[in-house]
A and B are shown apart, each in its own frame.
Chain A
Amino acid sequence: MKKIEAIVKPFKLEEVKDALSGVGIEGMTVSEVKGFGRQKGHTEIYRGSEYTVDFLPKLKLEIVLADEDVDAAVQAIIKAAKTGKIGDGKVFVSSIDEAVRIRTEEKGEHAI
């Protein structure tokens, strides 16, 4: 089993979800995160106090899936999330040791 962590621009969520659904992946966890890579932040001014805000809002999607589904999923994410501009995000893939469905206590690939 593998885990995909994808950092994407927040407005891309619907597109990415639909794209993943198109390759048969129906479950995911989403969190609101802040981050930066090469994309520059912005400046805010409050009555004379200037703040440079480096961290930008992003969304992190976490998906655990069978090894054979990874390539299709990564491609789907990239195609849906790309805008061509700096700040599009990144996809990371790691290995998962175990997965358990809480309701039925199924383990392994039956759980995802």
Chain B
Amino acid sequence: MKNIILTLGLIAVIGSSALTTLAADAAPPKPSLEDRITDLEAYVTNGARQTNSATALATSPGPGHNAWQMTSTALVLFMTLPGLALFYGGLVRRKNVLSVLAQCLGITGLVTILWWVCGYSIAFHSGKSWFGGLQWSFLSGVDSTPNTDYSGWVSHNVFSMYQLMFAIITPALIVGAIAERMKFSAILVFVTLWMFVVYFPLAHMIWGVDGMMNGVFNAAAKIKAIDFAGGTVVHMSSGWSALILCLILGKRLGFGKEPMPPHNLVLCMVGTGMLWVGWYGFNAGSAVAADVVAANAFTTTTLATAVASFAWPMAEWILKGKPSVLGFCSGAVAGLVVITPACGFVTAGGAVIIGIAAGLVPFFFCFKVKGWFGYDDALDTFGVHAVGGTMGAFLTGMLARNVANPNLATNLKDYVKDTAFQPLVFEQLKAIALTLVLAVVGTTVIAFAVKAVMGLRPTEEVESNGLDVSEHGEEGYHSDAYSSGRPSFANASAITETVHPSASAGRRPATV
């Protein structure tokens, strides 16, 4: 009896320990308190997750970083709609104001669709060093879990939407150079082609995880360049493309003979304020985290912009006799452009230097160089974005400092030496050259192709009457006093019979 009990007991002990071992192979170990605190600390400091265990934060986004990213996404959209729309809209003539708004709105929708179809995948999925794979087409696999190639704590889909806003505003900047004289249909076709030929590959090269110009995060990058928020990807690409396009398109009818002053500087200034505020999302949001790097970018953006906004009109005051509101606005935008590639990599002092340069060099291009060459860059996209972006990329090379961004030490120890002519400068020059060539060659080919297939310019009559009424069937500003024409409805006859004839002429005129 005792033997049987002993044997049974032994079997039970062996059996249960065997079962426990089997169970341990099937389920992961319960996270220890240490694991969970480590992951929490990683969330707070925007560090990489250290543990392998299934803590709650193993696949979850971090709310602080995600919230800032979503806010930044909205801020960058705000820069286009209505920031840029008003900034450019106020600078054109009254009869073309709606065309600018339509172009911004149209590009927003068009680029979003392209992004969803395959644009995001080409720009950010790994593949070739200059062109990503198509595995994320239709945003397949892009969900709310963070993609640790780009951020430990921001949802992947939020990151995708954030980058979409950059993809939207870049072509929208181009329309500044060709304002008032390009067909809406030609613009949409041009933008579609331009995104595939220039923007998606360029974004991939500079920001893609295996991009050949991603010096900060790609140890295998051929060109060890750095670009925090898009001095090359956004400003150089749009600015140089704008120059080529405006040269191919030709000048506006009456350019140089007829006066074409801004029709509403009030709108222009309102747009400038929106661009400045929205740009915090553009610059500080490019940290893809609410961390020390974002904090630095926020600071440098503020300093550079304000200094540039002040410097430009001061130069006007000295050289032309009066500081102008357009000067304040242009200076602010120039400051924002030049600090864009540098904001997360330079110190406060560097930002002030950048601000002074941004207030003066684009000013020189708009006031002098444009006159020397006589090209019709209607809204100074080349003068501000191309010149500013190129200068910004170069100054980033000179002014990047390790103290401003710990990520520089990861792959760029030999390039960022905290000196003015550190090796990074030469990498920046390489990136500038490649960007310039891509933008210029790409735009030349696309522009001539679109011109051959469908033509770029509207007829002279359409251009003279204004694009608003001819291409969009609307006027920006209706004057009640001079309204004529009746609305047409399906049951128009029923309405006119019951309404007194004099009332159908419209409301009483607005007082002067």
Residues of A within 8 A of B (CB): 30, 32, 44-49, 51, 53
Supposing A30-B512, A45-B324 touch, asked if A51 and B261 sit within 8 A by C-beta, the answer is yes
Min Cβ gap B405→A in Å is 34
Supposing A30-B512, A32-B512, A51-B261 touch, asked if A45 and B370 sit within 8 A by C-beta, the answer is no
Min Cβ gap A69→B in Å is 26
Give the residue name and chain of the B residue nearest to A32 (CB). Answer: B512
Contact A48 B366 (CB under 8 A): yes
Q: How far is the CA of A30 from the CA of B371 in the complex (A)?
A: 42
**Which residue of A32, A46, A48 contacts B261 across the interface (Cβ within 8 Å)?**
A46
Contacts of B420 in A (CB 8 A): none
Q: How far is the CA of A55 from the CA of B262 in the complex (A)?
A: 17
Known: A45-B320, A47-B367, A51-B261. 20 other contacts (CB 8 A): A30-B512, A32-B512, A44-B261, A45-B316, A45-B324, A46-B261, A46-B262, A46-B324, A47-B326, A47-B327, A47-B330, A47-B366, A47-B380, A48-B366, A48-B367, A48-B368, A48-B370, A48-B371, A49-B261, A51-B259
Give the residue name and chain of the B residue nearest to A52 (CB). Answer: B259
Asked whether B472 is an interface residue with its Cβ less than 8 Å from the other chain, the reply is no
Contacts of B259 in A (CB 8 A): 51, 53
Q: What are 27 of the A-B contact pairs (CB < 8 Å)?
A: A30-B512, A32-B512, A44-B261, A45-B316, A45-B320, A45-B322, A45-B324, A46-B261, A46-B262, A46-B324, A46-B326, A47-B326, A47-B327, A47-B330, A47-B366, A47-B367, A47-B380, A48-B366, A48-B367, A48-B368, A48-B370, A48-B371, A49-B260, A49-B261, A51-B259, A51-B261, A53-B259
Give the residue name and chain of the B residue nearest to A50 (CB). Answer: B320
Q: How far is the CA of A46 from the CA of B368 in the complex (A)?
A: 13
Q: Which of B355-371 contact A (CB under 8 A)?
A: 366-368, 370-371
Interface size of B by CB at 8 A reads: 18
Q: How far is the CA of A44 from the CA of B260 in the complex (A)?
A: 11
Q: How far is the CA of A47 from the CA of B383 in the complex (A)?
A: 10
Min Cβ gap A97→B in Å is 27
Q: How far is the CA of A32 from the CA of B511 in the complex (A)?
A: 12
Contacts of B324 in A (CB 8 A): 45-46
Contacts of A53 in B (CB 8 A): 259
Min Cβ gap A29→B in Å is 11
Contacts of A32 in B (CB 8 A): 512
**SS class of chain A's interface: helix, strand, loop or mixed?**
strand
Q: Which of B454-512 contact A (CB under 8 A)?
A: 512
Specify which of B260, B261, B322, B330 lies most central, judged by the most chain A CB atoms within 10 Å of its CB. B261
B233-273 Cβ-contact flags toward A at 8 Å (1 or 0): 00000000000000000000000000111100000000000
Contacts of B262 in A (CB 8 A): 46
Q: How far is the CA of A46 from the CA of B329 in the complex (A)?
A: 11
Min Cβ gap B385→A in Å is 14
Q: How far is the CA of A44 from the CA of B324 in the complex (A)?
A: 10
Contacts of B380 in A (CB 8 A): 47
Q: Which of B317-338 contact A (CB under 8 A)?
A: 320, 322, 324, 326-327, 330
Contacts of B322 in A (CB 8 A): 45
Contacts of B512 in A (CB 8 A): 30, 32
Give the residue name and chain of the B residue nearest to A53 (CB). Answer: B259
Specify which of A32, A47, A53 lies most central, judged by the most chain B CB atoms within 10 Å of its CB. A47
Contacts of A46 in B (CB 8 A): 261-262, 324, 326
Min Cβ gap A31→B in Å is 8
The 3 A-B pairs at the shortest CB distance, nearest first, are namely A48-B367, A47-B366, A51-B259
Give the residue name and chain of the A residue nearest to B379 (CB). Answer: A47
Min Cβ gap B141→A in Å is 47
Min Cβ gap A102→B in Å is 12
Contacts of B316 in A (CB 8 A): 45
Q: How far is the CA of A32 from the CA of B482 in the complex (A)?
A: 14
Q: Which of B130-178 contact A (CB under 8 A)?
A: none
